[in-house]
Structure 1
Amino acid sequence: MAHRVVVLALDMVVGYDMTIPPQILREATGKDGEPLYDVRICGLDRSPVRVGSGFSMVPDHDASILAEADTVIVPGTRVAGPRLHGVLPREIGEALATVPSHARVMSICTGAFVLGAAGILDGRPATTHWAHADEFRALYPNVLLNENVLFVDDGDVLTSAGLGAGVDLCLHLVRRDHGTEVANRAARYCVVPPWREGGQSQYIDRHVPEPGSEGTAPTRAWALRRLHMPLDLAMMAEHARMSVRTFSRRFRAETGMSPGNWLTRQRVEHARHLLETSDLPVEVVAERAGLGTGASLRQHMRAALGVSPLAYRKTFRHS
């Protein structure tokens, strides 16, 4: 049976957040096209739920469906108790109390305020939209908040930063449950990046590329096809027909990172893909990803993800 996901839409819900789980998770399918998730949206009752962007929606289900959930997702909301006073309204508390003990609980954006008010995040790492971090800390000092990440996976409780980071979290969920190929297919259909590092800063102040500039995108595409080969800044600048200084400046403006850091990240991502989708020895994975030796791959994997290549493969490899 498909994994049952219930999205709990509370008054003044963030409409974008609410629609992310059904859009992303319903595109996660098995080899024969079978749906892997059964996603449903509920309110506390069947009454219209106000959406913060100026309209209301009528959910198909009331909160009784929470008792059947394998995963519960609380999207962003402006509901007053959790957002302003650090208290959980009785009806929300009663609804959350029906969630099965085995179920995962997730939040998108300011949905973390609801989990905080429910005590679910006490003593746990979590994140929310960076713009609301100070007020979150004031209301929920027992939560280990980190507003500088896109999402936090703490096993049975997961939280994401604002808006688009909900896409990252849902794709991470698919990747965690069913592997990279399924997640990549869902991302490709939704025309979104299949993976952004969970440690990437939520907010990067990037300059708009200069008018008339062709940018560094062609060179980035060229480099991605040659990750197994020696590449350095000078070679990339030469391909882009720019000076090293100009290339570095434009590259950072367009990607938010230096060419060297970007290249290392892409190589680690390629290594992850190979670990998930093949039985290649670690030394061969390192070579094909352009990281040289197994020792180098282990060093980069631990720095980026905190795990060894073999531990990563054991976690994410799905037959």
Structure 2
Amino acid sequence: MLRSVAVLAVEGLPPFEFGVACEVFGIDRRDTGGPAFDFRVVTAHPGRVRTSLGFDLVVDAGLDQAEDVDLVVVPAHGTGAVDPAYVSFLRDAHARGATILSICSGAFVLAATGILDGRRAATHWMHADELHRQHPLVTVDRDVLFVDEGSIVTSAGTSAGIDAALHVVRRELGAGPANAIARRMVIPAQREGGQAQYIAQPVPERRTESLAGVTDWMLDHLDRDLTVDELARRALMSPRTFARRFRADIGTTPAAWLNRQRLLRAQHLLEATDDTLDAIATATGFGSAAVLRHHFARTLQTTPTAYRRAFAA
């Protein structure tokens, strides 16, 4: 269970990547259905920590204040030498079973410890070749937003750190807490990347409110066989105009949007209820457990039963 989180304030850290950890893990979101973590910011040398933009952070807590946390977050660091204090701390954290998440070039810090040897890892595409050159035993994956190696999660550059952080929350606490954080941050729970990640697909946000009534009605009637003709009539448009307007407004086709909503609803029911697969398939408009399994396999690369085992409350 993920309860406590520490982010390392390394010398020269970029404020955005550091802020990602603070935003995802450092805010009490219980008022909107999200989690609250025991959150700490620690550094090898307490006092002023210089950022990459030239201003300082004042961090009073040393690394000893994070010796018992469940998750350690390593923000971007650069590609140069790593302070031995962080190398020792991260080796100890990994040995005792803590999860470690690196953002962007923070992967260089993990690689310096040796715990990435023989593993896949992600970093910013600009640094991928350098990471491979310095650490040839690390398999650098250049085509993903993040890599989950169990106790070690590494992300690509900048905003991919958000994707990786939300993935860790979803993996450890379930879809509900992760989605609650994403809603507060006004971002999709997952962006589509170069591969299928084991996370729910993002919900495209409306660019305008012109179809709000129709999409809200669709969400209330996911169990029905919804056709473009029926939806167009509700929107007082021709089917062709409705389809064109829907793509322009939502960013995808009515059928694709509807399937994603059905899949998200099915995920919620698998997490929160003991309903059978057939009952969930009926309630979400998939019709049968076989069709439900097909969509889970195609989109999430897992089965409904495996998903329920992993994420059911």
Cα deviation for residue 238 of structure 1 reads 5.5
Alpha-carbon distance in structure 2 between the residues aligned to 1:241 and 1:116: 58
Distance change >3 Å, CA 216–CA 10, structure 1 → 2: farther
Distance change >3 Å, CA 139–CA 11, structure 1 → 2: same
Cα deviation for residue 152 of structure 1 reads 3.0
The residue that corresponds to 1:14 in the other structure is 14
The residue that corresponds to 1:40 in the other structure is 40
Distance change >3 Å, CA 129–CA 291, structure 1 → 2: farther
Distance change >3 Å, CA 311–CA 199, structure 1 → 2: farther
**Structural mapping, 1:201-220, within 5 Å:** 219-220=214-215
| Long gaps (5+) in structure 1 | 82-87, 203-208
Residue identity matched to 1:169: A
* TM-score where L is the length of structure 2: 0.79
Cα deviation for residue 301 of structure 1 reads 1.0
The residue that corresponds to 1:25 in the other structure is 25
Cα deviation for residue 75 of structure 1 reads 1.2
Distance change >3 Å, CA 218–CA 139, structure 1 → 2: farther
Does structure 1 residue 72 correspond to structure 2 residue 87? Answer: no
Residue identity matched to 1:22: C
Aligned pair partner of 2:112 in 109, 113, 117: 117
The residue that corresponds to 1:85 in the other structure is none
Alpha-carbon distance in structure 1 between the residues aligned to 2:289 and 2:14: 45
Alpha-carbon distance in structure 1 between the residues aligned to 2:297 and 2:179: 23
Whether contact under 8 Å (2:47, 2:60) holds in the other structure is no
Does structure 1 residue 273 correspond to structure 2 residue 268? Answer: yes
Alpha-carbon distance in structure 1 between the residues aligned to 2:282 and 2:246: 26
Say which SS state the counterpart of residue 44 (structure 1) adopts: coil
Distance change >3 Å, CA 217–CA 122, structure 1 → 2: farther
Alpha-carbon distance in structure 1 between the residues aligned to 2:269 and 2:254: 23
Does structure 1 residue 311 correspond to structure 2 residue 299? Answer: no
* TM-score where L is the length of structure 1: 0.77
Cα deviation for residue 79 of structure 1 reads 5.2
Whether contact under 8 Å (1:28, 1:182) holds in the other structure is no
Does structure 1 residue 299 correspond to structure 2 residue 303? Answer: no
Distance change >3 Å, CA 225–CA 140, structure 1 → 2: farther
Aligned pair partner of 2:186 in 182, 189, 192: 192
Deviates more, 1:34-43 or 1:134-143: 134-143
**Structural mapping, 1:184-263, within 5 Å:** 184-188=179-183, 190-193=184-187, 195-196=189-190, 199=193, 219-236=214-231, 251=246, 257-263=252-258
**Structural mapping, 1:134-173, within 5 Å:** 134-173=129-168
Q: Percent identity?
A: 38
Alpha-carbon distance in structure 2 between the residues aligned to 1:148 and 1:246: 37
Alignment length (residue pairs): 302
Residue identity matched to 1:90: P
Whether contact under 8 Å (1:71, 1:103) holds in the other structure is yes
| Long gaps (5+) in structure 2 | 197-205
Whether contact under 8 Å (1:30, 1:182) holds in the other structure is no
Whether contact under 8 Å (1:297, 1:309) holds in the other structure is yes
Whether contact under 8 Å (1:149, 1:198) holds in the other structure is no
Cα deviation for residue 151 of structure 1 reads 3.1
- CA root-mean-square deviation: 3.6
The residue that corresponds to 1:62 in the other structure is 62
Residue identity matched to 1:192: V
Say which SS state the counterpart of residue 39 (structure 2) adopts: strand
Residue identity matched to 2:12: M
